[in-house]
Structure formats: C-alpha cells, structure tokens
Chains A and B, each alone.
Chain A
C-alpha cells in the first residue's frame, strides 16, 4: 500500500496543476477557437458560420493597422532592448565602483507597472507639457518633438516607453550570464592577444546563447501581451493609429459586442506567436540533443 502511494505520489501531486493547465490554457484556447467560427455577438452562441468572422476581420482597416504596428513594435522593442541591455551589462561588468547602486537604478523600471510607465511617458512626450515645452522654455523655440500626437509616429513612442521599462531587466539577465563565463577562458584569450571586441564577439557572446534565448522568449511574450501600455500611453490614438492586436481584440470582443471577430483576432495572434516560437524552440532543443 505504502509502496503504491510512494510510486504514484509524484503524479498525484502534479495532477491538479496539470488539470488546471489543460483547462485554463488549452481548454480556453480551444473554446476561443470554436467561438471564432460562430456568429457570436454580445454573448457566446453556437451557430457556426465557417470563416466569416475571419473574412470580416481582414476586411477591417483597423485590424491591418494593428497588425502592422505589432510587427514594428515587436521588431524594434526586442532589437533595441537586447542591444541596450547587452551594452549596459558589458559596461557594468568592467568591475566599476558602486555597481550595486547603478544596477538597481537600471533595474528599477521593471518594478513599475506598464500603466504607470505609460502615464509618465504620456506626460513626458506630450508636446504641451513635456520635453518639447521644456526645451522651448529653455530657449530652443523651434524645437519639435511631437511623435505622440503624430499618427505616423505614435507607435514609436510605445517602443520608447517599453524599451525604457525592459532594457534594465535584459541587462540583469546578461550580467548574470557574463558572470557565469569561466574566467580562465577570458584570460586565455587575452594571453593569445585577442582584442576586447574579438573576445566578446567570438568567445563570450556564443557562450551566452541560452541567455539570448531566454531574453527573446521573455521579450516576445511581453510584446505580444502589451495592452496596458498602449491603453495608458496613447489610448490607441491618434485615431486608432497606435492600436495593437490585443487592444483590437479587447475592443471588439467586450465593448462592441463582436465576440466572433474578437475571437478570430485572438486566434490570429496565437498563430503569430506560434509561428515565431515553434521554429525557434525546435532549433534550440534539437541542438542541445546533438
């Protein structure tokens, strides 16, 4: 009896989590998928209409703007956060004084919610309140910085705020990675006469490959779930020029009684994530085995 319990205990302990995950993750994904093929409006209803909601979704100009914005945002946000985070980590790794204090300063934005970040940057970037007014008051009368109110540039203000928030965290990850690099390797490279650039490019960065992997996965999911930042910083405006798919989905599913279209947009978002992550996971995992 005791033996049997011992044998099955791990499974019993894990079971609730597994069930919760199957229901709350995969169950709801399936449910949303089914909803996207129905003509649900305000409440779920089960009259299936095939791909009609997807057709309506892709006929909507607002959806196309949201998709374009997502690509711009994901690419710039991840690229800039990685480069900035890596540079900060390398500089901090030079055994400088007060490293602890500086590290805390860079890491702190991560402790703030996106709503606070968004609101603060909304004031900083507002032409009538923030940077533009400050510099004009200082005497630069022709200074202009009005991305926030420019429909073509508003999405870049979201990139700025998101990078500000997340690059410190990326720095912390890279710093931990750099500290994990074997000192003997660096010493050996230096004896062989490698320059600092060659040292980092050919030896240290390749060793930190897993750190890149984690950073990209974490940043991608931050980028795709970005909803609160847009809501607080631009409200999707001017017009709907800075909408992201998550905002689109929320508006259509919950405010406009178009649950079918909302579900269809959620499915497209899911496939977007999978399209990025599956090849990446596959290549990473396969390499580890071989």
Chain B
C-alpha cells in the first residue's frame, strides 16, 4: 500500500529524529493507571517523551478495571477521533484490529528488533495479521500465593504446594483461630482464584485446551468436575464477610496477620512494600498450589490507533520505541511489581519475587507451562471470559454442586462463543 510506505518512511525519520530531540509532535494516551505507583510510572513515560520532543496529552479515565475507559474509547473511535494510543490488552487487540482501527507500527518494531527482544507468546499478542500494532509494557504473573509466615508458625502449618495439601494446612490454620484464605468476593477475584485451581488441578495442557481454546470435550471432562470440587472446598476457608471486599483489603489481612494466605497477582506486592514489610521474613511469595513451574501471564500494553495527521503518526512512532526502551521498562516495572516484557535486561534492581517470576517466565515458555490468564482478559474474548466469570462467581457464592457448576460453565461458554 502506498500509504503504508509513507507511514514507514515517516516512522523511520521519527526514530532518527528522536535521538536529536528536535521533533515536535503530540500523543494523546488513553489509560486507567491513576493510582499512586501506576500514575508515577506513566509520568516517567511522559518525561521520556518530552525529552524526545513529544508532548503528552493525558486522557486518563479512572475506575472499573478499565471498563469505563473502554466505553469512552469506543465512542471516540466510532466518531472518527481515536486517541494516539490506548491501554488495550490481550485478545481485545485483535478485536480492535479486525475492526480496522489500529496503526501498523512494524517499521518501529523492525528498526528496534522487537522480534528478538520479545518472547514469542508476547509478540503474538502484540501483532495483528503479522504486523505489530501494540507495544507491551510489563508482564504480571497471576498465579502467586502470598503468605504470612508468622501465622503459619503459630498454627504449626507449612506452606502448601498442592491443593490437597492446601486443604490440610488451611484446616490447621483455621483451627488455630486465623482466617486461612484472605479473599475479596468480587467476580474478578473469584475468577482469579478459580484460575489458580484450574491450573493447579488440571495442569497446563488441560488449561490451554479448556480455557484458551474452549474445547467442549475438555470442558465436559472429569477434570472440570475435579476443578469445581476443589474450588467448592475453598468456600469453607474464607471468612463470611468477604463479599464485595477489595483485593487490597484482603491483602492487608495477610499483612496484619489476620489471615494466612492470599492468591493474587504480583501487584499485591506493592501493598506489602507500602506497609514496610520485607520479603522472606514478613511475607513470602510462592506459586499457587500445584502451579510451580507454570506462569499465568497478564500483559499490559498500549495499542496504537491509525492517525489522520502525519505529525501524530511520527509522535506515535517515538512513543512506541520509548515503551520498549530498557529505561522505561525498568522504572515502570519496579513501580508496578511486574517484570519487564522484554528480555535481556539487567535484573539487579528487582527483588526475589520478581526474579522468581522472570525465571518461571523464561523456563515455562520452553516447557509449555506459560499460559495466558483468562481471569485478566488475556486468553479469550471478553464475551467468553465474562461467561467464565459468571459461572465461577455464581458457583463460589452459592451452595451449587460441582456437577451443576460444570453444567453452568459449559452452557455459558457455549452461549457466549
């Protein structure tokens, strides 16, 4: 396409110009990183861009895990006035790409050799029809279990490594007068816990078949029944006040020693840090029961929207290059608790939990244990993940039998496809 050539020429010019910092341009960025550490990370990107001569118009829409932001984005895109870049992740990038809204930034990617910087699982998510349309900022590991070793000592329990062992240890903790599992009863948290059980009970191959490919025979297998049985057993280890509780309130229960464990992604680490706790002594991070050697990933990324204006396209290219820069990746991920999306970076400044996560990320990408998180919109379309949310949260909050849980899950996924 003639137009594409022009774009790549401009993009190439932009990359050269960015080093001399004489370029003018503007990016408008839609995101929902508005809380403390996240806002600081975005601020850093903003500074990097202004050094490169690109001004930044902040378009932050807070709340609802990005749901509000997506609503705003849709109306902007339909009216023909999309922002330069927007925080979009996972299969949604493909949905937007299919609708023809995204910009091809392959020129930037080639110039900076993204194919060798990014693991294939990551770069696959960022491409639409083989062309880069988005840039990843981080990799979260979701299958973490955070524990308070003090509570374990007091109860005479050990940190469980399988779900069967979890039931035994949790019983001990409960008998000693503590809450075994800190949990917030919101749909996404129920789904996060469900996801850890799916991976721990069913293993990575089953996980991929049933919850990524949504293969009906895998979903109707006895493994799914076993998953629901284990998931149902967890109800007894959660305090009755959990409905509606925010995840960070649940984390603070582990910090205060009211509760022993929480299954939550690595963003929980920020809460421990803010409370002045140190890893190893005050809290520990281990893989969720039965999931060591696997890694459920949740990657945040910026997708780039096609622009009518050439200077906006040029500024967009500068932003894309900057996001994959090692400076930004390091600062951003230190703030957010995640690990860099690109390989081959110095890991000195990261803590031991992040090191574990990096090791698991690289190792599991070879063994096939690296799986996308369905609870965080990485594995399936929003319709299907919504269906899984409904089935998991309804099962967990009622006294449904495991058979009924399987039936509802299968029905909901079939209806949403």
Contacts and interface: CB of A to CB of B under 8 A. Distances in A.
A103 B185 CA distance: 39
Given A148-B243, A235-B244, A240-B187, A42 B99 contact: yes
Contact of B394 (A61, A122, A148, A257): A61
Given A62-B390, A251-B386, A255-B386, A237 B186 contact: yes
B241 A149 contact: yes
Contacts of B244: 122, 126, 148-149, 234-235, 237-238
A204 B190 CA distance: 54
Contact of A43 (B99, B190, B382, B395): B99
User: Which of B67, B390, B412 has the most chain A CB within a 10 Å cutoff?
Assistant: B390
Give the secondary structure class of A's interface. loop
B187 A254 contact: no
B6 interface: no
B243 to A, nearest CB: 4
Given A43-B74, A254-B71, A239 B95 contact: no
A256 B386 contact: yes
Nearest to A55: B415
Interface in B160-203: 185-187, 190
B87 to A, nearest CB: 15
A234 B187 CA distance: 12
Contact of A238 (B74, B243, B390, B416): B243
Interface in B387-417: 390, 393-398, 408, 411-412, 415-416
Interface residues of B, number: 32
A154 B243 CA distance: 10
B3 interface: no
Contacts of A50: none
A127 B243 CA distance: 11
A254 B394 contact: no
A258 B390 contact: no
Nearest to A146: B240
A147 B230 CA distance: 27
Contacts of B397: 151, 237-239, 241
Interface string A252-284: 101111100000000000000000000000000
B358 to A, nearest CB: 32
Given A60-B412, A62-B390, A240-B390, A258 B383 contact: yes
Contacts of A43: 74, 78, 99
Interface in B68-115: 70-71, 74, 78, 95, 99
Contacts of A240: 187, 390, 393-394
Given A42-B99, A60-B412, A255-B70, A149 B243 contact: yes
A42 B71 contact: no
Contacts of A146: 240
A206 interface: no
A122 B396 CA distance: 21
Nearest to A42: B95
Given A43-B74, A61-B408, A235 B186 contact: yes
A160 B380 CA distance: 39
A286 to B, nearest CB: 43
A126 to B, nearest CB: 7
A254 B386 CA distance: 12
Contacts of A148: 243-244
Nearest to B399: A151
Contacts of B4: none
Most A CB within 10 A of own CB, among B70, B78, B393: B393
Contacts of B411: 59, 61
Contacts of B242: 149
A122 B186 CA distance: 14
Contact of B241 (A42, A126, A234, A258): A126
Nearest to B67: A255
Given A240-B393, A240-B394, A254 B67 contact: yes
Contacts of B185: 149, 237-239
Interface string A194-227: 0000000000000000000000000000000000
A154 B190 CA distance: 18
A253 to B, nearest CB: 9
B263 to A, nearest CB: 18
Given A61-B408, A238-B244, A258-B416, 8 more contacts: A59-B415, A154-B243, A234-B244, A238-B185, A239-B398, A240-B390, A255-B70, A256-B416
Interface of A: 41-43, 56, 59-62, 122, 126-128, 146, 148-149, 151, 154, 234-241, 251-252, 254-258
27 contacts: A41-B95, A41-B383, A43-B78, A59-B411, A60-B412, A61-B390, A61-B394, A62-B390, A62-B394, A126-B244, A127-B240, A127-B241, A146-B240, A148-B244, A151-B398, A237-B185, A237-B187, A237-B393, A238-B243, A239-B187, A239-B190, A240-B187, A251-B386, A255-B67, A255-B70, A256-B383, A257-B383
